[in-house]
Amino acid sequence: MQPVISLNSAIECTSLSPSAAIWQDILAQAMTGELIAAMNYTSLAEICDDPGEVADALEHAEGERGHAAAFAAEGRKIGVDVPNNVGGKHWKRLREAFMCCITARDFIGCLIVQEIMLESFAVASYARVGKVAPGSLGRTFASIAAEEEDHVDHAMAILRKERALDPQRFDDKVYGLHLEVMTTLAKMLAKECKDGHCEVCHGSCVKPSLFEVSLSTAELRGVSLQQYLKTLDVLGIPGEVTLTWVAQLPV
């Protein structure tokens, strides 16, 4: 998996727009997430037995790379280079959680991490950004959010079938992955970065500046957790159980 833009490219904000530097960081987070997703689907293809599943996974990987490229292109339009860092603290942990499932050849675990957890976050936060970002930047976020939602549906059908076989075992498995993945996402979305720089933002953390583009971490976390809970509802996991999971996340 080749990153669309090399990891440590020098980043200079050349745009005149005062908010360009903020969009640059938002795009960098989104792009990094897309590259992680592309890497995850590529890895998934390697453990699929069914040729149809392999093709699906590779197609998804290609789609996610396309999203990353689209975000990079949006950066260029506003005069900024969009960096990415799949080795950034939080993203690295998310990738590792996914790779644990790959090592265990756990196809279902992979779908839970990527489609339920990471995509809930992507769909909800992109949709939110899509509402406030100007012009084509906003349209790109909104249309990518819609595309992500589409491929989640496909995974949901597989996961619902899996849950029907043994609901308790399935829910325990989701919970185990939740502890790792959602805890990391919750830290990413916390109002303050308590354990240092995220290693994706190009300068200091973008969070305190988000209000300048009509966004806030609280809102992005809110929509993401809401989407996550709704997705778990569709899977059939009892709401009182998932409520406890979410209530116990770090802030």
Partner 1 sequence: MGGSVASVARRGQVMEVDFALVGHQDSWRAAADVLAVLRGPERTPLPDDEIKDILPWIPPRAVCHVEAGSIAGVKARGLYIDSFIPPDRLEAAYMHENIARVRGAAAYAIKAGAKIVSLGGFSSILIEGNFDQLPERHDTAFTTGNTLTVGFIVQGIKKMCALEGRNIRRSTLLIVGATGDVGSGCARCLAPIMKRVLLSARNVERLRRLAAELQADGVQVEIATDVQRFSAEADVVICAASLASPSLLLGRIAPDAIVCDAGYPKNLSPSAEMPGARVFFGGLGQITGGLRFAPDFHGILNRHPFPDVVHGCLLEGMALALEGRFEPFSQGRGYITQERVEKIETIAARHGIYLAPLYNANGPVEEGLYCQRECSRG
**Residues at the interface with partner 1 (CB under 8 A):** 167-168, 171, 191, 218, 221-223, 225-226, 229-230, 233, 237-244, 246-248, 251
With CB under 5 to 8 Å by kind, the binding choice for 25 among Fe ion, partner 1, none is none
Which residues between 56 and 115 bind Fe ion (CB under 5 A)? 64, 67
With CB under 5 to 8 Å by kind, the binding choice for 248 among partner 1, Fe ion, none is partner 1
3-state secondary structure of 80: strand
| Closest CB 191 distance from partner 1, rounded Å | 7
CB 118 within 8 A of CB 180: no
With CB under 5 to 8 Å by kind, the binding choice for 89 among Fe ion, partner 1, none is none
The partner residues of 80 in beta bridges, in order of sequence, read 13
- Of the candidate spans 7-15, 203-211, 228-236, 239-247, the one that interacts with Fe ion by CB under 5 A turns out to be 203-211
With CB under 5 to 8 Å by kind, the binding choice for 238 among partner 1, Fe ion, none is partner 1
Cα–Cα distance, 162 to 117 (Å, whole number) = 17
- Of the candidate spans 2-10, 73-81, 86-94, 193-201, the one that interacts with Fe ion by CB under 5 A turns out to be 193-201
3-state secondary structure of 13: strand
Q: DSSP letters along 220-235, please?
A: HHHHHHHHHHHHHHHH
With CB under 5 to 8 Å by kind, the binding choice for 229 among Fe ion, partner 1, none is partner 1
Count how many residues are written for the chain.
251
- Of the candidate spans 13-21, 44-52, 108-116, 190-198, the one that interacts with Fe ion by CB under 5 A turns out to be 190-198
Site string (16-55) toward Fe ion, x via CB under 5 A: ------------------x---------------------
Cα–Cα distance, 3 to 228 (Å, whole number) = 27
| Closest CB 164 distance from Fe ion, rounded Å | 28
Candidates 4, 198, 215, 220; binder of Fe ion (CB under 5 A) is: 198
| Closest CB 186 distance from partner 1, rounded Å | 10
- State how far the alpha carbon of 18 is from the alpha carbons of 21, 74, 83, 204, 232, in Å: 7, 16, 18, 16, 39
CB 96 within 8 A of CB 18: no
The upper half-sphere exposure of residue 161, i.e. CA atoms within 13 Å in the direction of its Cβ, equals 8
3-state secondary structure of 247: helix
Name which of 114 and 242 has its Cβ closer to Fe ion: 114
- Amino acid present at 1: M
Angle (CA) 215-145-72 rounded to 5° is 80
With CB under 5 to 8 Å by kind, the binding choice for 64 among Fe ion, partner 1, none is Fe ion
**Residues lying near Fe ion in the complex (CB under 5 A):** 34, 64, 67, 198, 201, 205
